[in-house]
Copies of this chain bind each other. A is one copy, B any other.
């Protein structure tokens, strides 16, 4: 099969749909992989690295979109609708609910499109969202810690404080992948962490994983009103594509 990996168009989108080692795995299985020139730059993968792993570098999006299967990160933009055609398999984050236009274009052009966000090998497991959520939860703490710094305009609080000083309070709302990863990082930095969730079963699991260092609380308006005013920052879990 011919697999195409176009360069992402959106500003600040540094991700790329396939890493060079991923290319190597596909090539070993007998596929041909076409990568658009510079597609990996934002992620630190040079064209040379892709070639070394067996990819063919293509100069233009047209060439890459001519593949049987196109792998992307972001939902296609208007500039990319022109490449839609019957027989094309498109595998990317789609978020169709948010765009009637995109849905129409895919239907009209008879593209076989699969949204990463809908792949569910078993009930409740979303393997293509999970790594994004893991990154999101971990980055959230790093960003929170930064915006508490004086020079970023914050209160001048160090999450883990130093001996003899009050630790920062981090409140995490939701104990899913984002929330549990955020809790892990915030505990790692030495903060005082309270995690709320509406699912008692999940609170028990997280309590077993993190031990008594993590304060778990049933998420209800009463508890939220108690903990939010004390929080130095709050991380609310939402599904991120």
* A residues adjacent to B (C-beta < 8 A): 12, 14, 20-22, 24-25, 28, 42-44, 53, 125, 127, 130-131, 134-135, 138-139, 142, 145-146, 149-151, 155-156, 158, 160, 162-167, 181, 184-185, 187-192, 200-201, 203-204, 206-209, 211-213, 215-218, 220-223
Contact = CB atoms under 8 A, between A and B. Distances in A.
B156 A138 contact: no
A212 B200 contact: no
Contacts of A24: 220-222
Given A139-B158, A145-B142, A156-B44, A164 B203 contact: yes
A156 B43 contact: yes
Contacts of A187: 188, 212
A181 to B, nearest CB: 8
Given A158-B139, A192-B215, A130 B204 contact: yes
